[in-house]
Amino acid sequence: MAETDWSEIDLVHAELGGGRLAEFQALRALRRRFPKLPLTATVHDPERLVWRREKLPWPLSIASGMRSPLPEMATVLADPLCLREERQLAQHMTRLVTLTQAGSQSLRQRMGLKTAQMAVISHGNVAIAPAPLPPLKPLRLLYFGFIYRGKGIEDLLDALASVFTAQPALRSTVRLTLAGGSEPEMAFGPSGSYLEQLRLRIRQLGLVDLIDWQLDLPAEQIPQVIQAHHVMVLPYCESSKLKLLGKLRGTSGALSWAVACGRGVITSDARSFAEEVSHGNGMIYPQGDVDGLAKALTQACADPELVKKWAENASHMGKARVWSHTAEHFRDVFRQACEEK
**Helix (H/G/I), strand (E/B), else coil: 257:** helix
Delimit the domains of the chain by residue range: 12-124+323-339, 139-320
226 with 258: CB under 8 angstroms? Answer: yes
The confidence band for 248, taking pLDDT boundaries of 50, 70 and 90, is: very high
- Angle ∠(312,314,319) on CA atoms, nearest 5: 100
**Helix (H/G/I), strand (E/B), else coil: 148:** coil
88 with 24: CB under 8 angstroms? Answer: no
Q: What is the pLDDT of residue 183?
A: 60
Q: What is the pLDDT of residue 189?
A: 45
pTM > 0.85:
yes
Q: Residue 188 pLDDT more than 80?
A: no
193 with 187: CB under 8 angstroms? Answer: yes
54-103 pLDDT, tens digit each: 899 999 999 988 998 898 899 999 999 999 999 999 999 999 999 999 99
Backbone phi and psi for residue 282, each to the nearest 5 degrees, phi listed first: 165, -160
Cα–Cα distance, 294 to 156 (Å, whole number) = 8
For residue 149, give the nearest of 86, 191, 106 by alpha carbon.
191
290-306 pLDDT, tens digit each: 999 999 999 999 999 99
* CA dist 214 → 174, 260, 292 (Å): 17, 19, 26
SS3 of 19-88: the string is CCHHHHHHHHHHHHHCCCCCEEEEECCCCCCCCCCCCCCCCHHHHHHCCCCHHHHHHHHHHHHHHHHHHH
Domains 12-124+323-339 and 139-320 share a fold: yes
Q: What is the pLDDT of residue 79?
A: 95
143 with 252: CB under 8 angstroms? Answer: no
Cα–Cα distance, 53 to 47 (Å, whole number) = 16
> Sign of the C-alpha dihedral, residues 236, 241, 247, 252?
negative
CATH fold of the domain at 12-124+323-339: Rossmann fold (3.40.50)
Q: Which CATH superfamily is domain 139-320 in?
A: Glycogen Phosphorylase B; (3.40.50.2000)
